[in-house]
Amino acid sequence: MSTPPASSNSPTPALLARSSGPFGTCMVTTRAVAAGEVLLVIEGSRVRAPGRDTLQVGVDQHLATPDAPWRFINHACEPTALFHPGSDTESPRFTARTALAAGQEVTFNYLTSEWNLAAPFPCGCGAATCVGWVRGARYLTAGQRDALGPALLPHIRQQLQPRPDAPPWYHDAFSITDDVWYLPLDATAATEVEQALRLLELKPGANILDVCCGHGRHAIELARRGLSVTGLDLSSERLGMARERAQRAGVDITWVQADMRTIPSRGQDAAILLYTSFSFLENDAAQLEALRSIRETLVPGGQLLIEVDNRDHALRQPPRQWGESETLLWWEENRFEPRTSRNHRHYKGRDPRTGKAYEQRIHYRLFSAHELLGLLEQAGLREDGLWGDLEGHPFSLDSPSLVIRARRRE
């Protein structure tokens, strides 16, 4: 449907002119403009899906305006204009954020209006608050959203509201406490820790944080090797298992129940984040927040060793797989969602000795190398090693895993 007609204070078309700027075509003022003055009133049709040339005006409403002058109003993280999505009585419009001189470029912050851009792009505005990669408000960290403050439009704020009836899936997905379920993982824990330590550069007795430690299989092996270990996990059930196992193993470990986006620990020489646990968070903004939190736990030059599934390898695997061990018959089905690059896994198992059945559903992000390297860089972590598995083989498209060693950058 069309927008309401422009109100009587509509600017004349001569207020803005097309020009050339450092980032291509742009819009500039043709005269001095007062703060709050209307720069441009927009008319167009409403569509439900975002496109390259749309403006978001509601949760599922986008204004399509082919060949409209606003298309040349470029993004800036510290803009000169504000976008107003309109109402039943007022058309969408741009107003001057501050007083503008004649010939000054008109810009607005796309992240205040767009939830998920159809065509993301790198930002080169140079502002101190620059987000680096403009993908939409859904990918901003909590700190970046807070910095935008009231500039965030109502439909963006609505989408940011938590849904109390739908807690994150991982809150309950890891509540299985039967040792049988974890035996296949436990069998490889010692080898994985030996491999991880060969990829890290640590002195005897160094402090190390096991992020998403689960039932403690890696943390316990690290403590057995004389390291000072802190294990962090969100699941109280998993941490309960970890405490009991550490006590039986006779090792001293500090256990912390917390979200990896808000890690209280500090002064760590290294952190490990293994077995694709990093990928469980809701979106890339949450994962970037977690990496920044991990960075803050590390001493200057401290190391992070992170392991995730290699997206390029995973997409070529059969969607259904099964196997068996002495204690577990298992079957899994994977469904990949290309729009979000998330894998949805349905996992079932049965103890052949007792007939006890298990079931688990997990959802996680699959990363290609350049995507994860980009997140690490944004988080202030410098890549210092890239491998295709914990054994240290060179990384390639066929590598089952993506393993990166990164250091805290000052």
Spans of all domains in the chain:
13-160, 170-408
Token pair 């912390």 in the structure block, residue:
256
The one-letter code for the residue type at 71 is R
Q: How far apart are CA 376 and CA 370, in angstroms?
A: 10
Residue 11 has pLDDT above 50, yes or no: no
Residues 207 and 204: their CA atoms lie apart, in Å, by 9
Beta carbons within 8 Å of 27's beta carbon, 6+ residues apart: 16, 17, 18, 19, 69, 70, 72, 73, 74, 105, 106
Is there a contact between 29 and 100 (Cβ–Cβ < 8 Å)?
Answer: yes
Average pLDDT over residues 10-31: 75
Topology at the third CATH level for domain 13-160: Beta-clip-like (2.170.270)
Query: Which pairs with CB-CB distance under 8 Å and at least 24 residues apart come from 84-89?
Result: 85/55, 85/56, 85/57, 85/58, 85/113, 85/153, 85/154, 85/155, 86/3, 86/4, 86/42, 86/57, 88/4, 89/4
> What's the mean pLDDT in 20-27?
81
Q: How confident is the model at residue 7 (pLDDT cuts 50, 70, 90)?
A: very low
Identify the band that residue 64 occupies on the pLDDT scale cut at 50, 70 and 90: confident
Q: If DSSP states are collapsed to H, E and C, what string results for the chain?
A: CECCCCCCCCCCHHHEEEEEECCEEEEEECCCECCCCEEEECCCEEECCCCCCEEEEECCEEEECCCCHHHHCEECCCCCEEEECCCCCCCCEEEECCCECCCCECEECHHHCCCCCCCCEECCCCCCCCCCEECCHHHCCHHHHHHHHHHCCHHHHHHHCCCCCCCCCHHHHCCCCCHHHHHHHHHHHHHHHHHHHHHCCCCCCCEEEEECCCCCHHHHHHHHCCCEEEEEECCHHHHHHHHHHHHHHCCCCEEEECCCCCCCCCCEEEEEECCCHHHHCCCHHHHHHHHHHHHHHEEEEEEEEEEEEEHHHHCCCCCEEEEECCCCEEEEEEEEECCCCEEEEEEEEECCCCCCEEEEEEEEECECHHHHHHHHHHCCEEEEEEECCCCCCECCCCCCEEEEEEEECC
Query: Does 170-408 match 13-160 at the fold level?
Result: no
φ, ψ for residue 333, nearest 5 deg: -130, 130
pLDDT band at 8; cut points 50, 70, 90: very low
Whether the pLDDT of residue 127 is over 90: the answer is no
pLDDT above 50: residue 6: no
Q: What is the pLDDT of residues 369-383, one digit of tens each?
A: 999 999 999 999 999
Residue 60 pLDDT > 90: no
| Distance of alpha carbon 270 from alpha carbon 202, whole angstroms | 8
Quick one: what percent of the chain has pLDDT higher than 70? 95
Q: Which CATH architecture has domain 170-408?
A: 3-Layer(aba) Sandwich (3.40)
What is the rounded average pLDDT of the residues 272-298?
A: 93
Report pLDDT for 162: 64
Q: Per-residue confidence at 164, pLDDT binned at 50, 70, 90?
A: low
Which residue in 218, 8, 199, 160 sits closest to 93, CA to CA? 8
Query: In the chain, pLDDT over 90 holds for what percent of residues?
Result: 61
Write down the pLDDT at residue 172.
75
Among the ranges given (11-25, 90-104, 129-143), the one the predictor scored with the smallest mean pLDDT: 11-25
- Beta strands at 207-211 and 16-21: parallel, antiparallel or unpaired: unpaired
Weakest-pLDDT range from 36-45, 89-98, 156-165, 195-204: 156-165
State mean pLDDT over 173-189.
88
Instruction: Check whether 324 has a pLDDT greater than 70.
Output: yes
Q: What is the mean pLDDT of residues 284-311?
A: 95
pLDDT in the model for residue 124:
77
pLDDT at 365 over 90: yes
pTM, 2 dp: 0.62
Instruction: Tell me how far apart the alpha carbons of residues 406 and 387 are, in angstroms, rounded to a whole number.
Output: 12
Tens-digit pLDDT profile for residues 217-250 = 999 999 999 999 999 999 888 999 999 999 999 9
Across the chain, what does the average pLDDT equal? 89
